[in-house]
Structure 1
Amino acid sequence: MWYNSLWASLDAGHDDERSVEERQPEAGWGWLLAHGATIIQTDRPAELIAYLRKKKLHP
C-alpha cells in the first residue's frame, strides 16, 4: 500500500514533519507502516532510510 507522507492532510497527520521535525518517527512513519504501508513517498529519504534500517526493514 502506498502512502504519501509529505503533508499531514494526506496521511491523517502522520507525516514527514511529525517524524523528523517533531522527532516522533513512531507516530509518523511507524504509524504508516503499522497500517500497511509498503511504499512511502517522502521529502526526507535519508531520514526515512535511517529509520527503516534501525527497525531492520531496509538492508
Structure 2
Amino acid sequence: RQSGTPDLKVAQLADTILLHAARTAAEAILGEDPQLARPEHGLLKQKVDAFWAEARKAG
C-alpha cells in the first residue's frame, strides 16, 4: 500500500466503473490544464487545494 493512499474496498462492479470514469475525467482535465488555471476549473482547484492543505496538516 502506498503511503497516504486510503484503504478502498470496491464492493460492486458499478463502483469500479464509476472510479474508472472519474479517473479518466481527472486525467483529461489535468492533461489540458495541469495548474487548473482555467476559469471553469476554479471550483475544482479550490477543492483540490483545500484537500492538500488538510492533508499537509494531518501530517
Q: Same fold (TM over 0.5)?
A: no
The structure showing larger relative contact order (alpha-carbon pairs under 8 Å, at least 6 residues apart) is: 1
Q: Which has the higher strand share?
A: 1
Q: Please tell me whether Structure 1 or Structure 2 has the larger radius of gyration of its CA atoms.
A: 2
TM-score (norm 2): 0.29
Q: Which has the higher helix share?
A: 2
TM-score (norm 1): 0.29
